[in-house]
Structure 1
Amino acid sequence: MIGMQRLIVKGNQIATSDGKEVKLRGANIGAWMNLENFLNGYPGSESALRNEFALRLGESGAAHFFERLLSGMFSEEDVVFLKACGMNVLRIPVNYRHFESDLQPFVYREEGFKLLDQALEWCEKHEMYAILDMHTAPGFQSPDWHSDNSSQRAYFWEHIQFQDRFITLWEHFAARYRGRAVIAGFDLLNEPVSNASYGRFPAQYRSDWDKINGVYRRAVEAIRAIDAERILILEGDYLGFYFEGFEAPFAEHLVYSSHLYPPPAVKEGHYPGVIDGEEWDKEKLRQAFFESEGAQFARKHNVPLLVGEFGALYIHPEELESRNRALGDMIEAFEDFGAHWTVWTFKDIGHMGLLQIDPSSEYARMIAPLLQVEYAFNRDDGWGRQQVAVMADRMKEAIEDAGIDRDLNRYFLEMSVRENYLQVLLLPSYVKLFEGQTPERIESILEAFREDRCLRHDSLGVVKRFLNS
């Protein structure tokens, strides 16, 4: 596109190639090329979901379902909508499985690249920058569900072939999109957890800085050999929070990225007020960001900081005003710091999206009974969460290890029960909802995710206050 210039790093700023400063403000296109259960409304992991659909609906039936789901989650109309809101960048999470099969490593799938190519063409047409984010890497860089991980084991850090595949896939991206101005940068690895090869459990976490620094250096050097000026984005360890052991910036055009989900945005309670045992107000929220390791690293090394993910979790209607206040205060802190930001996320079934599907839609009504089962295990008043808490506390008492934190122990056991067992049980029930449905019927159901069918959440108005400035 004639109106777009390639972005580079200039000191602690992101700028166009002719030196004009650019402030990146936008949204994540989550739940598109990397599905997530709590956003799309299915149980379990994406890979398990795709396998169950293929078993029950056949390869062609499964392909049709996912094609319609993805076209509903993101289309050119969405780019037009977000551009009209005042955004200038979209962070696009991707799952490596769109581009490469585990059974055929280093052999690349053109259909995955064509899907991404189409998105980049839409962005070019409407002069919207894109950040390509490796949300799911081969072998799983994180033990959590958002990296399409069904095992809670992050094999990526223990097997060199997974790292080699990761590097080579980025080299393929670099060659394919060399010089493409629409791409603001490559976000190399979403929310890495470098020292959880056997699970993220309730002990004191210690980053493996040699591993993560080594992987990042390898990736940067490999990409630089192909595209010398592409902005490369390095996320902090432990879900984007830890930076203390990062080596100093070792190449040009590096941007560093942190994620922020403080208690006022995700824990039950009223803000300002006492949340998760602490008194939170605007000044404390601002301080939490300014004193975060990501912000301190950016100041120390005079490099740009991108808050690649942040957002509010909307659980109870009575918390709407509180959550939106926290969301606005977070963005104000980013603006005062000079950080770039992309809010999580654009669309979903009603948890965090700026756009949310209509609860009266057929899709919402179909999945409602399954969600109620899940809510029993992930909400404070849920019977499942309460039962798991009792079991976790009994485990802690039996082990008598002073290093076990009660709340973390509860959280990780709850996540294991929910993500690795409960959702596996629920998965066939979800897929059965679509068995016997005609292709036309499935298409009609999944149109609930289209921009013109979605409801505009109040959080969209909060975000828009900080755009066009």
Structure 2
Amino acid sequence: MSPTPPKACLRVDGTGIVDADGNRIILKGTATGGHTNMENFITGYPGHEHEMRAAMLEVLGREKYDFFFDKFLEYFFTPHDASFLASLGLNCIRIPINYRHFIDDLNPSVIKPEGFRLIDRIVTACADAGMYTILDMHTFPGGQNQGWHSDAGIHKALFWNFKDFQNRMVDLWVAIAKHYRDNTWVAGYNPMNEPADPDHVNLQAWYKRVEKEIRAVDPNHILFLDGNTYAMDFSAFKEVLPNCAYAMHDYASMGFPSGEPYVGTPEQKEFLQKSYERKVEFMKGRGVPIWNGEFGPVYASEAEHEYKKINEQRYNLLGQQLSIYTSDKTSWSIWLYKDIGFQGMVYVNPETPYMRLLKPFLEKKKRLGLDKWGRDDGRFRDVAQVYEPVIRHFREEISERFLNRRYPQVWKIEGHIHRVLRETLFSEIMCWEYASFFEGKSMEELDELAASFKLENCVRREELNEILRADAARAG
């Protein structure tokens, strides 16, 4: 029997989020990233989802293409997954969405009903398990940021330069708000994931506009508003919008191959605390709720040297971050629920058809360092050295005055070169190689490949899940 729906939508009350009776609710959960918005490191393809899908369509043909991706979407998240997450004590699941499930770029004025059917299935499964959901728009036409996860296929955020793109996404959010306005299991809407507005003013104008339009059809649901520059910068924010929580992302470099190992020194703990405080200064100063929409380390595989030691350090890092959030009663959503073995709470078993088929390609992609997320150039020096002369050339020919002017400046020139050469151009071409592994597959074989993502075909990362279970059990 499904649990009784909440009597009313959650709402903002001062620095907290409360239910219909005024009880404070601390949202603790994870995200279904890689599902309704696919990402390269999560499911194994290179580059950008729309490029991978185009290559797959070319190889499979329309009938098999539709069959495979329909099955993938069916199997990736089911009521079984929702029940598992609820068993850990989690109470809210963030649903990252690719706008293309709702809008065809060649017919942008029509909102596709199949998008609602897809998201409804997840919302309902979570509600039946007694969990709230937050709807997160993870991609935007033209790209709201410069990263692979905005699925623009370029290295610029053109969304901010085209009013048509902005109008289109306001209209989509109005349609979504109309659809879910009476659903009290939906905790709220995350209108834009990780915006990166170079001018630092367009984002606030769009937030103000979309908030007004959403409120006209749905006055009750909370909006969870990300900071600028990948949800890490609120320095240019001028005002607080009503019934809004403000969302930051709190990744720590010590949780990745490129960062220093976390050994729990006082200096490292102080660094984590200061990084967090910088990101939440706006929320604390304005007295509004904090939602940490993404955080979490990545994990070494058994094939890597001293993987147990590395992962123990990463678990300790996670524990320290959770203790910071607990002290502030901060709501959070860890990244990530399910993948092929890098960061997920569960991951696809290496012996499944999908992983066996793609093993040589995945090893090649990792060696080439095509994915930004968790790239390990320290381990694969032969490939890393290919790019060093290019970086050196830029540094030699461009004045120091201009070298790191390109936004986001925190990437420095190295990050922008890797974005263009490895993550965009190289990865786009490699999509055809990825798709070639599916050539000639029968419907039955495609079903088996998609079924690799079923929960029963996944390995559970028990140490991680126990940490999350223990934290979820803490009193708010």
Normalised by the shorter chain, which TM-score bucket? over 0.9
* SS of the residue 1:27 aligns to: strand
- Alpha carbons 2:294, 2:335 under 8 Å: kept: yes
Q: Could you tell me which amino acid in structure 1 is paired with residue 465 of structure 2?
A: L
Structure 1 equivalent of residue 407 of structure 2: none
From 268, 289, 303, the equivalent of 1:304 is 289
How far the C-alpha of 1:375 sits from its partner, in A, is 2.1
Paired residue for 2:275? Answer: 288
Aligned to 2:192: 189
Distance 2:226 2:202 in 1: 14
Instruction: State the secondary structure of the residue aligned to 1:465.
Output: helix
* Contact 1:143–1:193 (CA under 8 A) maintained in structure 2: yes
Query: Could you list the per-position Cα deviations for residues 245-297 of structure 1 after superposition, in whole angstroms to 9, with x for gaps in the alignment?
Result: 112213x21100000111111234321279xxxx95223312321x223x111
Work out which of the residue numbers 301, 317, 322 in structure 1 matches 2:313.
322
1:370-398 per-residue CA deviation (whole Å, 9 max, x = no partner) reads 22222233322222222212321221122
Aligned ranges for residues 93-112 of structure 1 at < 5 Å?
Answer: 93-112=96-115
Aligned to 1:390: 389
For 1:209 and 1:148, the matched residues in 2 are separated by: 21
The letter for the 2-side match of 1:303 is V
Report the CA distance between 1:112 and its aligned residue.
1.3
Conservation of the 8 A alpha-carbon contact between 1:15 and 1:21: yes
Cα distance in 2 between the residues matched to 1:45 and 1:108:
23
Moved over 3 A (4+): 402-407
Does the CA contact (< 8 Å) of 2:47 and 2:427 recur in 1?
Answer: yes
TM-score by length of 2: 0.91
Q: Is the 8 A contact 2:264 2:317 kept in 1?
A: no
Instruction: Determine the C-alpha separation between the residues in 1 that align with 2:184 and 2:269.
Output: 38
- Give the counterpart letter for 2:268 in structure 1: D
CA separation of 1:2 and 1:269: change in aligned 2, threshold 3 A: same
In structure 2, runs of 5+ residues without a counterpart are: 370-374, 405-409
Find the aligned partners of 2:226 and 2:340 in 1 and give their Cα distance.
27
Q: Is residue 155–residue 419 contact of structure 2 (8 Å, CA) maintained in 1?
A: no
The within-5 A match list for 1:148-297 is: 148-195=151-198, 208-250=199-241, 252-266=242-256, 267-272=258-263, 280-289=267-276, 291-293=277-279, 295-297=280-282
Q: How much has 1:60 moved relative to structure 2? A: 1.3
- Partners in 2 of 1:3 and 1:468 — Cα distance? 22
Of 421, 426, 437, the match for 1:422: 426
Q: Counterpart amino acid of 1:261?
A: Y
On the 8 A contact 2:88/2:469 being kept in 1, the answer is yes
Using the size of structure 1 for normalisation, the TM-score is 0.92
Name the CA distance, whole Å, in 2 between partners of 1:310 and 1:403.
Answer: 32
Partner AA of 2:347 in structure 1: Q
Distance 2:401 2:141 in 1: 35
Distance 1:355 1:286 in 2: 28
Q: CA RMSD in A?
A: 1.8
The verdict on how the C-alpha distance between 1:71 and 1:173 changes in structure 2, with shifts beyond 3 A counting, is same
CA distance in 1, matches of 2:172, 2:68: 27
**Structure 2 CA distance for aligned equivalents of residues 229 and 111 of structure 1:** 25
Q: Tell me, in whole angstroms, the C-alpha distance in 2 between the residues paired with 1:254 and 1:281.
A: 32
Tell me what 2:372 maps to.
none
Structure 2 residue 74 is matched with structure 1 residue 71: yes
Question: Quick one: higher RCO (CA 8 Å, sep 6+), 1 or 2?
Answer: 2
Q: Is the 8 A contact 1:94 1:136 kept in 2?
A: yes
Q: Partners in 1 of 2:283 and 2:218 — Cα distance?
A: 24
Following the alignment from structure 1 to structure 2, what is the Cα–Cα distance between the partners of residues 348 and 44? 16
Q: Any gaps of 5 or more consecutive residues in structure 1?
A: 196-207
Distance 1:422 1:320 in 2: 30
- Secondary structure in 1 aligned to 2:152? coil
